[in-house]
Amino acid sequence: MTKPLAELLAQRIRQGGPITLADYMAECLLHPTHGYYATREPFGAAGDFITAPEISQMFGELIGLMLAQSWLDQGAPAPFVLAEPGPGRGTLMADIWRATRAVPGFHAAARVHLVEASPALRRAQRERLAGVPVTWHDTLDDLPQAPLWLIANEFFDALPIRQFQREGDGWRERVVGLRDGLLVPGLTEAAPRPELAHRLADTGEGEVVEVCSAAAAAMAAIGERIAAHGGAAVVIDYGDWRSRGDTFQAVRQHQYADPFAEPGMADLTAHVDFEALARAVPGLRHSALVAQGALLARLGIDLRAERLARGLSGEALEFHRAATRRLTDPAEMGTLFKALALVAPGAPLPPGFEFAPEPGPEPGPEQESETRNEFGATTPE
């Protein structure tokens, strides 16, 4: 019998000492036999959380038409790569594909590439996308060198982070160790961290900063392709312009959980630091951060919602109205989730986005941070 993940991690810590939060998170989410994404389909009312494409088909339809318009605006290069990292059940790409059917030349030119680490979710995607020619990859580094239109929804928040707590001009790293045989968080001795020098200016004693090197690596792979061949990347996620404080969290069955209690059984995430994503690709231009609700409004969700409502009545209509609210309302996902677009210098942004006012990405009214938590926003009533 295979040992549960807690025992495997305890063994590893006994042998090699405490592990970083990033190593812990990676094992919990992606361990090949016990990892959260490897063993289950976590989405939907019966799962642990629900994502925008699972709430309503409108999300994927509007994103699809936005990507297609951006492709047309950049001269409709053929062939091009239509990519999605972390596609979950494949719902977003299925909706994108259906919505773009009528865009002349788009399907003929598109090569769909999905980046997915979980074999269980790859199977779900294969089913959902039956009839769509799809290639799967383990990492974004494997994407072909070609014009690239990429959408990432709730992908970056699943990437492993490290956490550092400020002490004087040094930093103590938050790590996972063992006490009485149980996995517990702890802190290393303080040490200088040259890569965090810029955070000495905006943090105080004891404050925590988060670093996601996997996100920077992913953005580098995306940026290299868009800078060389054209295209656009659109990232939608839970987070803000700069990482402040501890945002590491576990959610299980739509409830917060202790992230160290039963490794592999809960979804682990951290807020996305959009500034870090933008800074990881200095060769691209980025948009201002825009709230999901505002983006969907600019893309015409009201019209689409009305059009769909015409064919519905009774409970189905109620459900549809609730889903629309859920995606856009500031009290639900509307302001908590943000979107960022990146393009090569000289290229237009996709519809719905604006460049940040020069010289720097000062937060505008749309970017003000929200203090509500993700759980409150993504749980069904």
Binding site for ligand SAH (CB under 6 A): 29-30, 37, 43, 51, 53-54, 85-88, 92, 115-118, 121, 153-155, 158-159
Q: 90 and 128 in contact (C-beta within 8 Å)? A: yes
Q: Please name the amino acid found at residue 286.
A: H
Q: Cβ closer to ligand SAH: 116 or 173?
A: 116
- For the chain, give the longest Cα–Cα distance: 64
Q: Cβ closer to ligand SAH: 146 or 158?
A: 158
Please report the DSSP string for 17-30 in residue order. --EEHHHHHHHHHH
Q: 121 and 88 in contact (C-beta within 8 Å)? A: yes
Q: Cβ closer to ligand SAH: 53 or 352?
A: 53
- Residue 109: CB atoms within 10 A of its CB come to 16
Q: Residue 151 CB, nearest distance to ligand SAH (Å)?
A: 9
Per DSSP, the three-state class of 108 is helix
CA gap 238, 240 in Å, rounded: 7
Q: Residue 105 CB, nearest distance to ligand SAH (Å)?
A: 26
Q: Cβ closer to ligand SAH: 53 or 239?
A: 53
What's CA 336's distance to the chain center, in Å?
Answer: 13
What stretches of 254-343 show up as alpha helix (H) in DSSP? 274-279, 292-298, 301-309, 314-328
Q: Cβ closer to ligand SAH: 20 or 188?
A: 20
Q: 211 and 162 in contact (C-beta within 8 Å)? A: yes
Across the chain, the runs of DSSP E, i.e. the strands, are: 19-20, 80-85, 110-115, 134-137, 148-153, 162-167, 170-179, 182-187, 208-211, 231-240, 249-252, 255-257, 267-269, 272-273, 285-286, 290-291, 337-343
Q: Cβ closer to ligand SAH: 90 or 230?
A: 90
Q: Residue 324 CB, nearest distance to ligand SAH (Å)?
A: 17
Q: Cβ closer to ligand SAH: 124 or 344?
A: 124
Q: Residue 35 CB, nearest distance to ligand SAH (Å)?
A: 9
> Which residues 6+ apart lie within 8 Å of 314 measured at CB?
none
CA gap 39, 304 in Å, rounded: 36
Q: Cβ closer to ligand SAH: 121 or 288?
A: 121
Q: Residue 33 CB, nearest distance to ligand SAH (Å)?
A: 15
Task: State which residue has the least CB distance to ligand SAH.
Answer: 86
Per DSSP, the three-state class of 55 is helix
Q: Residue 272 CB, nearest distance to ligand SAH (Å)?
A: 12
Q: Residue 281 CB, nearest distance to ligand SAH (Å)?
A: 18
Q: Give the tokens for residue 33.
A: 């036999």
Residue carrying structure tokens 């995606």: 327
Q: Residue 192 CB, nearest distance to ligand SAH (Å)?
A: 29
Q: Cβ closer to ligand SAH: 154 or 224?
A: 154
Q: Residue 123 CB, nearest distance to ligand SAH (Å)?
A: 12
Q: Residue 380 CB, nearest distance to ligand SAH (Å)?
A: 15
Q: Cβ closer to ligand SAH: 86 or 334?
A: 86
Q: Measuring CA to CA, how many Å separate 368 from each of 37, 90, 181, 204, 339?
A: 32, 31, 43, 21, 13
